[in-house]
């Protein structure tokens, strides 16, 4: 080779590696050596495998090409010797054999060879296998270097071990604190609260009242959080927590259980009256206005109280009864209630009602009733609103104000809705006329991405036309995820279903909703309509809502019309549709006979 070739070769070998080629046949050895050198490898040639182990050390060999069939010392014997001193990761060996014999290959691989190649040698295959083994060796050496550096680092840091252990213990203590406290408010979390409750239960003595559990639930937090966003809601919770902690004694214990629910364990040295004083103090603190980012917000709370041991000696009993008392307190808002036997009876009655309801829904016992909706100007039938009724076999007609809240808490509203919709569609098809059918949906349904598909499937199964169905949704049901609500309602509207905004005027009454959502109709809530004649403010509000709807090209329905005077006032305002007891209560069948009105004269809304 020329001097220039030597320089090139030296540069290449520094990159590619040093190979020991052991072959007793000079022609094969020299030819293969030259070819590998031209590929950029430094090749050291040996005609015998005798002393090959020492040559590997002396010449700093990185890979061995070992002929299997040699006279003085066989490749197998040499392989055993190499592996006795060098592992396969640091000194890879590729066996070269003239025989493509499975037994030879198996013996070579079992003896520690990294790979093999048969003669005549395909240089491209050999080069690829050599490169793969050298790349693997380099990776091993890099890993060795990392391990060595790591060992040096560990040794260097041994002197800091005591300090690190101390830091770790401090970190663990902080982690324990975080695991037992609410990260937002700093109060104890549910886990810590239950631990403290169990501790106090274990210390119960002969006292008539050992301590009280107060279940504190914020009254108006959700609408504030929905309207102003989670950032404002979080700041509000932090202020609430500070106020709560600041108005209880040092021997009391406050915790945030989650969301807008808090619990307080109160020691009772002065008995029941002392607990009542503490409850009133908490209510006063939490009802005072709170200033957050320039917003003056008023929340308030309701408190349910369970006394230990009077109302229970276990955590489960006290929590259940405190929660039940809190629900009773929320009926009055801003109040506190002690648990008593009447609440216990209410719990049992509610549980029994839920049991019956779970059986009634699949049995079809919850049935649709139909309340007529009329064209105000002509008195003609426009359609019916579907209302849920439960004619219980033993208890008679159960009011929807009783069973619907139970269905909501038990997660049964969805199943009840689909059963009612299917029944209502079938009954409507059996009745004469092409009237509209209006159904109310719950907040959970508007958030269900499959809701439109389920509606359309029910319509297909019953054969009821989509153009005759009207979906009624409240404003509050859509706050928090306007985009999903818009997507669901638009999917239905595109199939011909009409959309009504129910109870308009009682929720957020946002003009943004009217612009963003595919609304066809506004339904003015009965709370305004019922006092329309007697209350000037209600009349003004109703008139404004009717005017707003007409300006936006929306149809208007007034709910809760109970007398002629109200109907006359609404007609003067330009209201198009009405419903209420004045036109008839809800009935089992979609039929209506009014003054001068017959089913044959019904028309679509």
CA distances (Å), 292 to each of 238, 240, 282, 363, 586, in order? Answer: 11, 11, 20, 51, 47
For 454-511, what is the HEC assignment?
Answer: HHHHHHHHHCCCHHHEEEEEEHHHHCCCHHHHHHHHHHHHHCCCEEEEEEECCCCCCH
Q: What percent of the chain has pLDDT over 90?
A: 66
Considering only 132-136, 457-461, 493-497, 514-518, which range has the smallest mean pLDDT? 514-518
- The confidence band for 475, taking pLDDT boundaries of 50, 70 and 90, is confident
Q: Are 451 and 477 in contact (CB under 8 A)?
A: no
Tell me: the pLDDT tens digits for 432-450? Answer: 999 999 999 988 888 888 9
Per residue in 479-523, pLDDT (tens digit) is: 667 788 888 999 999 999 999 998 876 655 567 677 778 899 999
Query: Span 197-206, mean pLDDT?
Result: 88
Digit-coded pLDDT (tens) for 339-394: 987 877 877 888 889 999 999 999 999 999 999 999 999 999 999 999 999 999 88
The encoded tokens of residue 7 equal 């320089």
Mean pLDDT of 111-123: 91
Tell me the β-bridge partners of 523: 557
Cα–Cα distance, 475 to 511 (Å, whole number): 11
CB contact at 8 A, 285 and 216: no
Which has the closest alpha carbon to 434: 382, 391, 476, 479?
382
- Using the predicted structure, report yes or no on whether residue 595 has a pLDDT greater than 50: no
Same fold, 190-339 and 358-601: no
Q: Could you tell me if residue 445 is left (phi over 0), alpha (psi between -120 and 50 degrees) or otherwise beta? A: alpha
562-586 residue pLDDT tens? 999 999 999 999 999 999 999 988 9
pLDDT at 10 over 50: no
pLDDT band at 5 (very low <50, low <70, confident <90, very high): very low
Segment 180-194, tens digit of pLDDT = 899 999 999 999 999
Return the CATH architecture of domain 358-601.
Alpha-Beta Barrel (3.20)
Average the pLDDT over 253-259 and give the result: 93
pLDDT reading at 52 higher than 90: yes
Give domain 3-153's CATH architecture: 3-Layer(aba) Sandwich (3.40)
- For residue 346, the model assigns a pLDDT of 79
103: its two tokens:
């037994």
Strand partners, 290: 297
In sequence order, which ranges of 158-189 are alpha helices (DSSP H)?
161-179
Domains of the chain: which residue ranges? 3-153, 190-339, 358-601
Q: How far is C-alpha 277 from the chain's CA centre? A: 40
pLDDT band at 165 (very low <50, low <70, confident <90, very high): confident
State mean pLDDT over 18-32. Answer: 93
Region of 396 (left: φ > 0; alpha: ψ -120 to 50; beta: rest) is left
Maximum distance among all Cα pairs of the chain, rounded to whole angstroms: 124
Note the pLDDT of residue 31. Answer: 93
DSSP secondary structure string, 405-427? HHHHHHT-HHHHHHHHHHHHHHH
Rounded to an integer, what distance in angstroms lies between the CA atom of residue 41 and that of residue 33? 9
Q: Is the pLDDT of residue 599 over 50?
A: no
Dist. CA 482–CA 461, nearest whole Å: 30
Confidence grade of residue 597 (pLDDT, cut at 50, 70, 90)? very low
Q: What is the pLDDT of residue 4?
A: 38
For 525, the 3-state DSSP assignment is coil
C-alpha 242/C-alpha 235 separation (Å) is 11
CATH number assigned to the domain covering 190-339: 3.30.70.270
Mean of per-residue pLDDT scores for the chain: 88
Note the pLDDT of residue 6: 45
Rounded Cα gap, residues 295 and 262, in angstroms: 23
Q: What is the DSSP string of 262-327?
A: EEEEEE-TTHHHHHHHHHHHHHHHHHS-EEETTEEE---EEEEEEEETTT-SSHHHHHHHHHHHHH
């Amino acid at each position: 080779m020329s001097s220039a070739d030597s320089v090139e070769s030296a540069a290449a070998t520094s990159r590619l590696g040093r190979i020991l080629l052991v072959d007793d046949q000079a022609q094969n050895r020299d030819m293969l050596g030259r070819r590998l050198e031209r590929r950029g490898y430094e090749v050291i040639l040996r005609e015998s495998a005798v002393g090959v182990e020492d040559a590997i050390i002396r010449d700093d060999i990185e890979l061995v090409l070992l002929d299997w069939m040699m006279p003085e010392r066989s490749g197998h014997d040499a392989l055993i010797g190499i592996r006795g001193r060098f592992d396969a990761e640091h000194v890879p060996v590729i066996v070269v054999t003239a025989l493509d014999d499975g037994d030879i290959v198996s013996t070579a691989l079992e003896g520690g060879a990294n790979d093999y190649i048969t003669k005549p040698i395909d240089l491209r295959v050999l080069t690829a296998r050599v490169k793969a083994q050298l790349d693997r060796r380099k990776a091993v050496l890099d890993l060795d270097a990392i391990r060595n550096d790591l060992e040096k680092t560990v040794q260097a840091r041994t002197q800091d071990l005591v300090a690190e252990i101390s830091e770790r213990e401090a970190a663990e203590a902080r982690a324990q604190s975080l695991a037992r406290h609410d990260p937002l408010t700093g109060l104890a979390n549910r886990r810590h609260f239950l631990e403290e409750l169990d501790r106090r239960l274990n210390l119960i003595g002969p006292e008539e009242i050992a301590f009280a559990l107060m279940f504190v639930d914020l009254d108006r937090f959700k609408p504030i959080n929905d309207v102003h966003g989670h950032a404002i809601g979080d700041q509000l919770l932090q202020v609430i927590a500070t106020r709560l902690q600041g108005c209880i004694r040092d021997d009391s214990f406050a915790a945030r259980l989650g969301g807008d629910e808090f619990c307080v364990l109160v020691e009772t040295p002065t008995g029941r009256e002392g607990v009542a004083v503490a409850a009133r103090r908490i209510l006063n603190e939490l009802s005072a206005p709170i200033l957050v980012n320039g917003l003056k917000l008023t929340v308030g709370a309701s408190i349910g109280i369970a006394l230990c041991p009077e109302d229970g000696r276990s955590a489960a009993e006290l929590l259940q009864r405190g929660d039940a008392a809190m629900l009773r307190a929320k009926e009055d808002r801003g109040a506190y209630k002690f648990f008593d036997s009447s609440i216990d009876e209410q719990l049992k009655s509610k549980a029994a009602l839920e049991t019956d309801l779970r059986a009634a829904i699949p049995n079809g016992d919850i049935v649709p009733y139909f309340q007529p909706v009329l064209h105000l100007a002509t008195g003609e039938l426009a359609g019916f609103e579907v209302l849920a009724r439960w004619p219980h076999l033993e208890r008679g007609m159960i009011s929807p104000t009783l069973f619907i809240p139970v269905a909501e808490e038990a997660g049964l509203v969805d199943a009840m809705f689909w059963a009612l919709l299917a029944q209502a569609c079938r009954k409507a098809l059996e009745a004469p006329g092409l009237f509209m059918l209006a159904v109310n949906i719950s907040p959970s349904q508007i958030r269900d991405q499959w809701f439109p598909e389920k509606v359309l499937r029910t319509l297909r199964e019953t054969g009821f036309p989509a153009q005759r169905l009207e979906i009624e949704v409240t404003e509050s049901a859509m706050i928090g995820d306007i985009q999903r609500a818009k997507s669901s309602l638009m999917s239905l509207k595109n199939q011909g279903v009409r959309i009504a905004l129910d109870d308009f005027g009682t929720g957020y009454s946002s003009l943004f909703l009217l612009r963003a959502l595919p609304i066809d109709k506004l339904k003015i809530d009965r709370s305004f309509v019922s006092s329309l004649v007697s209350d000037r403010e209600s009349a003004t509000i109703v008139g404004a809502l009717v005017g707003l709807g007409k300006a936006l090209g929306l149809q208007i329905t007034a709910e809760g019309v109970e007398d002629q005077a109200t109907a006359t006032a609404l007609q003067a305002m330009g209201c198009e549709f009405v419903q209420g007891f004045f036109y008839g209560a809800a009935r089992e069948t979609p039929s209506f006979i009014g003054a001068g009105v017959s089913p044959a004269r019904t028309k679509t809304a």
